[in-house]
Amino acid sequence: MAEELGNQMNGAEAFVRMLEGHGVRHIFGLCGDTTLPLYDALYRLDHGMEHILCRDERSAAYMADGYARVTGKVGVCEGPSGGGATYILPGVVEANESSIPILAVTTDISVSARGHYALTELDQEALFRPLTKWNRTLDSAAEIPETLRTAFRRMTGGRPGAAHIGLPYDVQRGTVEAETVWAEERYGSFPNDRVAPDPACVEAAAIALWEAREPLIICGGGPVLAGAEDAVRELAILLEAPVASTVSGRGVIADSHPLAVGAVGSNGGTMPTRGIVEAADLVLFIGCRAGSVTTERWRFPAPGTRIIHIDSDEAVIGANYRTEVGVVGDARLALEALVAEVKARRQAAPIRQQGRRAALKAREEKFAAFAELAASDETPIRPERVVATLNELLPRDAVIVADPGTPCPYFTAYYKLLETGRHFFSNRAHGALGYSLAAAMGAQIGRPGSKCVSVMGDGSFGFTVGELETVARHRVPITMIVFANGVYGWIKAGQKTGFGERYYSVDFSATDHAKVAAAFGIESYRVTEPGELRGTLMKALEAEGPTLVDIISQPLQEARAPVSEWIA
């Protein structure tokens, strides 16, 4: 890894070589004064990495997030000091709370300038401390190799999370001994250093599960991150237990499986799926925090239901429910051990059938109500019709990235995932608008063989419109779908149901999003009539480059969205 300097290299060169050594192939970022040495090293060195210049540091972090979710590799984003460091924060905290390992690199003023009122000076390490799993601002170039090795180990080991490194200008120009520049490539992917569960806890969980009359499995994002889909399916079959998921857990089991229930909770759950939770006498949470959305504010499952909880983070277990058995460990390792224990008990016991019947009944009821709305020819176009059309047109391996607002509950509830793994996701940790477009671009770069679709409301479009230029410049072949209704719909729906229809400061003027996209050089369409929807979406999905479809759609406060608070 040594450069022309023989046994030494400068800090920026060492930083680039450390990223390369950890298997990084894409960097998402935005330039600044303090970044000049790093960009110069990226220009000069032969490293095999592509830098994606973004128009906003927040988008760079969201791109790294989407990239990491579909590749299983660390996503890397970077930005300059001052405003760049503050702009990148939303993407970093979203990834960290979603257990997605992204490395945020923010360059900084020189160490020698600290305390002298230099332009853009701020305490980056203090700023990022509460938002990351691991965080460090460097003081000397010699620290670069070990700092990068530590960052990658911490991001990908145990419960994955985000890391931040502050890289001062003079540190980038300092001297690093070439012999210290070596990487541990396996830590460029995740998960790593999996923790095996306590056998006694696994045995106790197996006994409780086999005793239960109507067990239910609820999966968060943990099993998907751990690659535990096969183990989840095997356990469900052994127990004849329905499998439900959170928004983040979608893809843990194919929706075509007889035991698949779909999403539960207040965002994407429906009355039939809530009934499955109400009927369970024991709930097994796997890689799920049992938070307010999943449990509809801790009402379903009801207090008193027997609870078993598997999670890699011991702090999660017992935080919200009295837990009969807690199993701390990696989801895949814990489930594989649990399957072995349950198999031993199943040999001499009758096979149960009620779980299969309950799951089928819930699915049939949910989609019967959905189909009626999806067939409507009413205008504005119902969101159900959009989801149903995409169910028909998209290939099995497509990736859907949904923004909060209109897309999240509809696609969580009704988009049919026929393949396991990461084919649908949304930013559910903090739910900031403007995530979907950037994350879908990152996902498309990370998984170029699959069709990636960004679905957003027009509120989200306003947050992220600048990245249309990035999409167009790189000709990233994503399809962007905008639900256009001129309102921050989630808030207006809340004002309708909880505040007597006292609507205040939630409506904004209409935008022709197709014309905006066309101005950036993106092939775009506008749909106002339901009969035009299928043909237009088909053209957009089959086009070679990026496309945008602007759909004049029913606002949330008038819709029958699968959101329990509004339904009630």
Whole-angstrom Cα distance, residue 220 to residue 207? 23
* Alpha helix positions (H), 75-168: 83-87, 89-97, 124-128, 144-156
Local structure of 445: helix, strand or coil: helix
Q: How large is the greatest C-alpha to C-alpha distance in the chain, in angstroms?
A: 76
Q: What angle do CA 320, 326, 331 make, to 5 degrees?
A: 100
Q: What is the pLDDT of residue 565?
A: 85
Tokens of 221: 């994002």
* Alpha helix positions (H), 290-330: none
92 exposure class (CB count in 10 Å sphere: 0-12, 13-18, 19+): buried
φ/ψ (deg, to 5) at 328 = -95, 120
φ/ψ (deg, to 5) at 450 = -110, 155
Whole-angstrom Cα distance, residue 122 to residue 80? 12
Whole-angstrom Cα distance, residue 165 to residue 137? 5
Burial 389-403 (b: 16+ CB within 10 A, else e): bbbeebeeebbbbbb
Could you write out the three-class secondary structure of 141-176?
HHHHHHHHHHHHHHHHECCCCCEEEEEEHHHHHCEE
Burial 263-292 (b: 16+ CB within 10 A, else e): bbbbbbbbebbbbbbeebebbbbbbbbbbe
Nearest to 79 by CA among 103, 100, 98: 103
φ/ψ (deg, to 5) at 341 = -70, -40
Strands ordered across the beta sheet of 325-328: 260-263, 243-245, 215-219, 282-286, 306-311, 325-328
Under 8 Å between Cβ of 388 and 371: yes
Q: What is the pLDDT of residue 566?
A: 87
**DSSP for 514-568?**
HHHHHHTT-EEEEE-SHHHHHHHHHHHHHSSS-EEEEEEB--GGGS--SBHHHH-
φ/ψ (deg, to 5) at 289 = -85, -5
Whole-angstrom Cα distance, residue 83 to residue 166? 14
Nearest to 265 by CA among 281, 282, 285: 285
- The contacts of residue 123 (CB under 8 Å, 6+ apart) are none
Burial 5-42 (b: 16+ CB within 10 A, else e): eeebbbbbbbbbbbbbbbbbbbbbbbbbebbbbbbbbb
Q: What is the pLDDT of residue 208?
A: 96
Q: What is the pLDDT of residue 348?
A: 55
Q: What torsion, rounded to 10 degrees, do the Cα atoms 382, 388, 391, 392 define? A: -120
Q: What is the pLDDT of residue 567?
A: 81
**DSSP secondary-structure letter at 422?**
S
Under 8 Å between Cβ of 393 and 299: no
User: pTM of the predicted model, to two decimals?
Assistant: 0.97
Q: Which domains does the chain have, with CATH numbers?
A: 8-188 (3.40.50.970), 199-358 (3.40.50.1220), 375-567 (3.40.50.970)
Q: What is the pLDDT of residue 568?
A: 62
Tokens of 426: 């949304």
The residues that bridge with 166 in the sheet, in sequence order, are: 106, 137
- Predicted confidence pLDDT, tens digits, the chain (568 residues): 444 456 999 999 999 999 999 999 999 999 999 999 999 999 999 999 999 999 999 999 999 999 999 999 999 999 999 999 999 999 999 999 999 999 999 999 999 999 999 999 999 999 999 999 999 999 999 999 999 999 999 999 999 999 999 999 999 999 999 999 999 999 999 999 999 999 999 999 999 999 999 999 999 999 999 999 999 999 999 999 999 999 999 999 999 999 999 999 999 999 999 999 999 999 999 999 999 999 999 999 999 999 999 999 999 999 999 999 999 999 999 999 999 999 988 765 555 667 888 899 999 999 999 999 999 999 999 999 999 999 999 999 999 999 999 999 999 999 999 999 999 999 999 999 999 999 999 999 999 999 999 999 999 999 999 999 999 999 999 999 999 999 999 999 999 999 999 999 999 999 999 999 999 999 999 999 999 999 999 999 999 999 999 999 999 999 999 998 888 6
Q: H or E segment at 104?
A: strand 102-108
φ/ψ (deg, to 5) at 107 = -70, 165
Tokens of 249: 């857990």
Q: What is the pLDDT of residue 2?
A: 42
Whole-angstrom Cα distance, residue 120 to residue 536? 47
Tokens of 529: 């009539």
